[in-house]
Amino acid sequence: MKKSKILMIVGSLLLLGLFVFPLWNITLEAPQYPIPLGMDIHINKFTDTHEFDIKNINLMNHYVGMQYIPETIPEFKIFPIAIGAMVVLGVIIGFIGNHKLFLAWFVLMCILGTAGMYDFYLWEYDYGHNLSPKAIMNFKNPDGSVMGFQPPLFGSKDILNFTAHSYPRLGAYFLFAGMILTLIAFFVGKKEKKA
Amino acid sequence: MKTIFKSLLVITVLTMVLGSCGKGDSKKKGALSSNAAERVYVAPGEYDEFYAFVSGGFSGQLAVYGLPSGRLFRVIPVFSVDPEKSYGFSEETKPMLNTSHGFIPWGDSHHPDISQTNGELDGRWVFINENNTPRIAKIDLTTYETTEIIEIPNSAGNHSSSFVTENTEYVVAGTRFSVPYPQKDMPIKEYKGNFKGALTFIAVDPKDGGMSIKFQLMMPGFNYDLSHPGRGASHGWFFFTTYNTEEAHSLLEVNASQNDKDFIAAINWKKIEEYVNNGGGTKAPANYAHNVYDEHTHTATSTMKKEVLIINPSDVPGAVYFMPTPKSPHGCDVDPSGEYIVGSGKLAAELTVHSFSKMLKAIDEKKFDGDAYGIPILQYEATLAGAVKQPGLGPLHTEFDGKGNAYTTFFISSEVVKWKLGTWEVLDRKPVFYSVGHLMIPGGNSRKPYGKYLVAMNKITKDRYLPTGPEVTQSAQLFDITGDKMEMLLDFPTIGEPHYAAGIPASILMPKSKKIYKLEENKHKYVTKSEGAAKVVRNGNEVHVYMTMIRSHFAPDNIEGIQVGDKVYFHITNLEQDYDVPHGFAVIGANTSELLIMPGQTKTNIWEPKQVGVWPFYCTDFCSALHQEMQGYIRVSPKGSNVPISFTLDGDAVDAE
């Protein structure tokens, strides 16, 4: 089998890592939490980094009127289907072996990924800004607007007594590695055709 | 400005240091010249190297300290009620203090001993004895809670206890005050020959630590003072010191100090165990309490046991011998190899050391010197390994560092003496302040001592601390024993009398310490696992309040429909699942204590309102930023009132989180 085909197939299959490992993680540090609170985001669920972390994040957040982190969100139905479909599509394209389709798959995956991140941002924004009017504590920004508690999309940020960290986890690395392999597959395929 | 401040600070510090040197003279020089302060200093946020479980003596409790800092971490309630922790006040813990004499709110705790596997500390449980109303308790070293107490029948003055065998097969309880067996109304002067001293072997379930009395050995009516298990080659034997072999019943200070030698009783418990397993022994009626606390129901139950297996020494020939030991021996300490048994004749001029191998040989060669009540007395010279000459006055207790050295306390001459096993020479002696009883080296009573520190536990404190009226603090002293000479590093105050202690490396216990109780595993009869399940139920004049607590409110927090004369049970569940977030509960006029409830736990308080009104209740443990808001009201109407039972949170029936 041609090298490009193998790369394309392996690259697509790497996405399956997302079904096993978390995609993203948000961790909250504070003086009273020497062991930080953390939440792992999978493509189909939220999980505790340490047992009961989500319950304890909710407890902290109710003081500033934030909503509870839901048990599930609609995305958890869509993401597995989208990823599953892309894996199947990628493998089929791999067998077909047309390097232009490889690129098309990669571009589609980029669009889907960006859409996913945007969706995540919207959820985070709502989570951080849609505060209960009966919130126990209200904080204002220096400009007088109501302070939000949105965790960062990527990176670290101080929110009151907490420092929030938002970084990709192993599942995301599988995704990135898989996507890079499919891109390499495109270039290798292109070369193979010329040769 | 900063520089000026800094130089002022330097000058101040220098003045203080020089000043203290000036008047510190020879007595205080130690700490600076030897860096004692540095060696006991545990920086903020850092951990001690050892846990020390120090008996609270007549407080009835067990205190947990760190070594080398001497900082107190926790007082574990064991034999006495503790209103701070609702021990003995909550409905769940009251059964722990039940005995054949009814509920007893106080005890006298003495000798903690940590469970062992293969003769080494395993850190599963710590056992401790109660002297006054004979009992043995077991404390779980994942929760640091007392989880089992067993009463010892046919015993009084449960003092030569609660030492464990090398695989925690047994925890042993001996009788200090012999009593009639079976108990009966008889003249005290007929003591001699009629009173008995029971030595009780309590089997420990290797899985859950469950205690059950395997047998009681009915010994002559001497006073059995202390005991220790054999280890290594002597595993299978247990040694008990005796005093009052005179069998005096009055003015014992004189009448029990007449014999030149008392005995160390050597008990071959393996042999007796075999006899029992083959159906030996006599089942005798008894009445004693067995109290077990279940971590999942968060509730203790007390069962009265009605029978005990009695063994007479004459039933099992070759199982019991007496080794003559000078002058009312107290400590009976077995070295890490199991070869030497140190008898501390507390009124003797020297320290007697018996040899286990010589003892076996003497038994084999029948080198007996008569018998006492049919129990063979071995010839003194035949078992003697050696004696430490002129060691001090009033030897009490010995432990070992695992490097061939022994350390013995001397009550009368108020010192700790280091001496060498085998050569019996005195290597060092250091004064203690004052009148030391027991000492403790972590693991010093096992095959594997951690010979770094020694804690001397003193009986008298006098002028060592700021005075606090006639009653001053009790005290312990820490020595570094890594060098040739012992170095005193620290005095630290203790609760009650620091009677004896057991130490263990922190690295063994720290990883096992439980952080929370899982709510989903809570099997309490009255658990409320969510706010939606909270309710108030009337049953005649009993009212059961199923209440929850979580930062920072109770559910329900407004209750109506209670009447004067009702018996209100508050069954409160802490819904938290976060480390170190207990909540408390107190209600005005309760004749009990507060409740202190750990995450995932349920506890119950009884409240019997006597006055009409609207009465508050609140959280007693500062739990959160809104702790002060964690409160509620309960309305009490006159008896026969038609105010219906209702319970709300924020004006709504309690039904949602």
For the range B428-432, what are the long-range contacts, defined as Cβ-Cβ under 8 Å and sequence gap of 24 or more? B428/B484, B428/B485, B428/B486, B429/B392, B430/B479, B430/B485, B430/B486, B430/B488, B432/B456, B432/B458, B432/B477, B432/B488
The residue segments making up the domain with residue A8 are: 3-194
pLDDT at residue B7, as a whole number: 53
Unique residue bearing structure tokens 């008298």: B460
pLDDT (0 to 100) of residue B26: 43
Write the DSSP assignment of B471-515 as a string of letters.
S--EEEEEEE-SSSS-EEEEEEEESS----EEEEEHHHHGGG---
3-state secondary structure string, chain A? CCHHHHHHHHHHHHHHHHHCCCCEEEEEEECCEEEEEEEEECCCCEEECCCCHHHHHHHHHHHHCCCCCCCCCCHHHHHHHHHHHHHHHHHHHHHHCCHHHHHHHHHHHHHHHHHHHHHHHHHHHHHHHCCCCCCCCCCECCCCCECCCCCCCCEEEEECCEEEEEEECHHHHHHHHHHHHHHHHHHHHHHHHHC
Is B32's pLDDT higher than 70? no
Nearest CA in chain B to A62: B551
Higher pLDDT, B469 or A194: B469
Instruction: Please report which confidence band the pLDDT of residue B13 belongs to, taking 50, 70 and 90 as the band edges.
Output: very low
| Cβ–Cβ under 8 Å, residues B387 and B370 | no
pLDDT of residue A138: 87
Contact B339, B379 (CB under 8 A): no
Which candidate in B517, B518, B553, B579 is best for mutational testing of the A interface (most A CBs within 10 A)? B579
pLDDT above 90: residue B377: yes
Q: Which domains does chain B have, with CATH numbers?
A: 75-320 (2.130.10.10), 396-513 (2.130.10.10), 521-653 (2.60.40.420)
Q: Which of B530, B531, B577 to substitute to test the interface with A, most A CBs within 10 Å?
A: B577
Interface pTM, i.e. ipTM: 0.87
Average the pLDDT over each of A134-148, B15-29, B144-158, B387-401 and give the range with the smallest value: B15-29
Domain count for chain A, please give it: 1
* The pLDDT of residue A137: 87
| Mean pLDDT over the full length of chain B | 94
- The confidence score (pLDDT) of residue A145 equals 87
Q: What percent of chain B has pLDDT over 70?
A: 94
pLDDT bin (cut points 50, 70, 90) of residue B33 is low
- The model's pTM: 0.91
pLDDT at position B3 is: 52
How far does the CA of residue B385 sit from the closest CA of chain A (Å)?
55
Backbone angles phi, psi at B4, to 5 degrees: -60, -45
CB-CB neighbors (< 8 A) of A59 in chain B: 550-551, 576, 578
Give the pLDDT confidence score for residue A194 in this predicted structure: 84
Query: What pLDDT score does B606 carry?
Result: 98
Q: What is the pLDDT of residue B536?
A: 97
Residue A144 to chain B, least CA–CA distance (Å)? 24
Nearest Cα residue to B239 out of B229, B252, B225, B251: B229
Q: Does B8 score more than 80 pLDDT?
A: no
DSSP state, residue B118: T
A134 in contact with B, Cβ within 8 Å: no
Facing B625 at nearest CB: one of A51, A52, A63: A63
What is the arithmetic mean of pLDDT over B172-184? 97
Q: What is the pLDDT of residue B342?
A: 97
